[in-house]
Amino acid sequence: MTIPAQGPARGPDGPHPDQDPGHRPAEGSGTADGGPATAPPAPDQAAPDPASAAPAPARPAGKPGAVLPDLADPAFWQAPPEHRLAAFARLRALDTPVYVAEGRGRGHWALVRHADVQEASRLPKVFASAPGVTTPEPARWVRALFGDSMVNLDGPDHARLRKVVQRAFTPRLLAEAERDIDAVAARIVDDMLAERPDEFVAAVSSRLPLEVICNMMGIPEEFRPEIADRVNHASENIGVERGLAARLRMPGRGLRALARMQRMVAGIGRERRRNPADDLISALVCANVDGQALGARQLGAFFSLLMVAGVETTRNAITHGLALLTDHPDQRDLLVSDFDGYADGAVDEMIRHSTPIIQFRRTVAAEHSLGGRTFRPGEKVVLYYASANRDEAVFGPDPDAFDITRSPNPHLGFGGGGPHYCLGAHLARQEMKALFRELLTRPRDLRATGLPDLAGSNFDNRVRSLKFTFTD
């Protein structure tokens, strides 16, 4: 299929990317008679046997004649955002989740409604995180390397690990981190004013989350440039790639970058176990009162998780935030008129609207009916947070509007609740508030001058770069 081009560059007063009407919808390979892009098993049919051919065709209920998108088609993820949103709205209108074939007998059921994503998140005994939450299935060597990353664990194994790493997020440490966040945010804006960069991601949004986590962990300065480089390298290869070689892929090259970073951090951990300091790595590797501590490999896995889950996500949320404020000057004016009064709402609305993590997967562990379908053990479901966050049933009548006064705002940007709910949600909100406070009160007229250069990933709503300007 034709991959629609990215939207036009935003001029100083250019249009919002989501509102540009000049694109043909990314229809995927859906059938014109309303059938799904890939034929699913009938609602009560057993899970597709990976060894057999594609599951038997069945026609989901829904609007007759609607063309359904193919979520496994990389072109779908590279199409302009408004086309994806329209496609998800069509999927939400169906009576049952659609089946998305990923090839070679693999596939998943797409959970796209707010209520379904929330329910699946809160039933970990039914919708398990093991063997992995990324799509497609991680390769065996990836599981061997990242198998003990907490996102991929369930039950007591997960609870034990989460309890140990929760030491990073105690009120005392978070209060210390908050003071640090304010100082780092101020320094980034000092540098911005002095150096006058024109690209926001490298100069501003990527710096804060990386520096905050490295400070919390006690990563020595000399390691940081290399870590920044490896994080970029790793995330660049997660999800869908653009261009001729576009295909769904596991982040092979990226994971190797993470693996090197893991070894580096594991080395620091071994050193801190011998010579403990007053930092988080020392706290994590030295046993607490319960005798619990992270091994060197677990420490490396946790650090990699923080880099992907905590740095990338926050950097993307901040970058989308600037684009959103630029495109909605009324909301920006409102925020500036009373920053402390509106900041909490603005940050959550930025996260809802941009949904930095698009989806995570679960594997069905026990039979369960949800969203009009009975799921069987072994089947895969994918929780599409990006769709849940635009569900008209919760955010109507205009779920696509950017409204910093939206209240309540029960978005699922940090997950749908349950045991894996984002550990860093508070920290991320603090970072975003601190940086936008500096950005909106010190320079004048800070705004994006181009459209976000989106990576076209099916995993995270990643922005490679965003041109911007400001006056002193």
Interacting residue ranges for ligand HEM, rule: CB under 6 A: 121, 150-151, 162, 213, 305-306, 309-310, 313-314, 317, 351, 356-357, 360, 385, 413-416, 418, 420-424, 427-428
CA atoms in the 13 A half-sphere facing the CB of 140: 0
CB of 6 to ligand HEM, least distance (A): 23
Total Cβ atoms within 10 A of residue 369 = 10
What size, in residues, is the chain? Answer: 472
Closer by beta carbon to ligand HEM, 43 or else 131? 131
Closer by beta carbon to ligand HEM, 105 or else 223? 223
Residue nearest to ligand HEM (CB): 424
The one-letter amino acid at 128: A
CB of 353 to ligand HEM, least distance (A): 12
Closer by beta carbon to ligand HEM, 37 or else 311? 311
Torsional class of 150: left (φ above 0), alpha (ψ -120 to 50), beta (otherwise): alpha
106 — phi, psi (to 5°)?
Answer: -95, 155
CB of 354 to ligand HEM, least distance (A): 8
Closer by beta carbon to ligand HEM, 164 or else 213? 213
Closer by beta carbon to ligand HEM, 27 or else 349? 349
Closer by beta carbon to ligand HEM, 133 or else 240? 133
CB of 157 to ligand HEM, least distance (A): 11
Helix segments in 218-338, DSSP class H? 224-235, 252-274, 280-285, 296-305, 313-327, 329-337
Residues 208 and 437: their CA atoms lie apart, in Å, by 13
CB of 149 to ligand HEM, least distance (A): 8
Closer by beta carbon to ligand HEM, 79 or else 386? 386
| 129 and 420 Cβ atoms separated by less than 8 Å | yes
Closer by beta carbon to ligand HEM, 115 or else 151? 151
| 322 and 448 Cβ atoms separated by less than 8 Å | yes
CB of 140 to ligand HEM, least distance (A): 21
CB of 82 to ligand HEM, least distance (A): 21
Nearest to 186, CA basis, from 443, 427, 429, 428: 443
CB of 389 to ligand HEM, least distance (A): 10
Total Cβ atoms within 10 A of residue 86 = 14
Closer by beta carbon to ligand HEM, 97 or else 424? 424
CB of 415 to ligand HEM, least distance (A): 3
Total Cβ atoms within 10 A of residue 406 = 18
CB of 355 to ligand HEM, least distance (A): 7
Residues 6+ apart with CB under 8 A from 82: 17, 18, 19, 20, 23
The one-letter amino acid at 285: V
Q: What does each C-alpha distance from 139 to 84, 131, 164 come to in angstroms? A: 28, 11, 27
DSSP 388-441: HTT-HHHH-S-TTS--TT-SS----TT-SSSTTS-TTHHHHHHHHHHHHHHHHH
Closer by beta carbon to ligand HEM, 161 or else 259? 161
Residues 422 and 419: their CA atoms lie apart, in Å, by 9
Q: For the purposes of burial, counting CB atoms within 10 Å of the CB of 12, is it exposed (0-12), middle (13-18) or buried (19 or more)?
A: exposed
Closer by beta carbon to ligand HEM, 87 or else 432? 432
CB of 401 to ligand HEM, least distance (A): 20
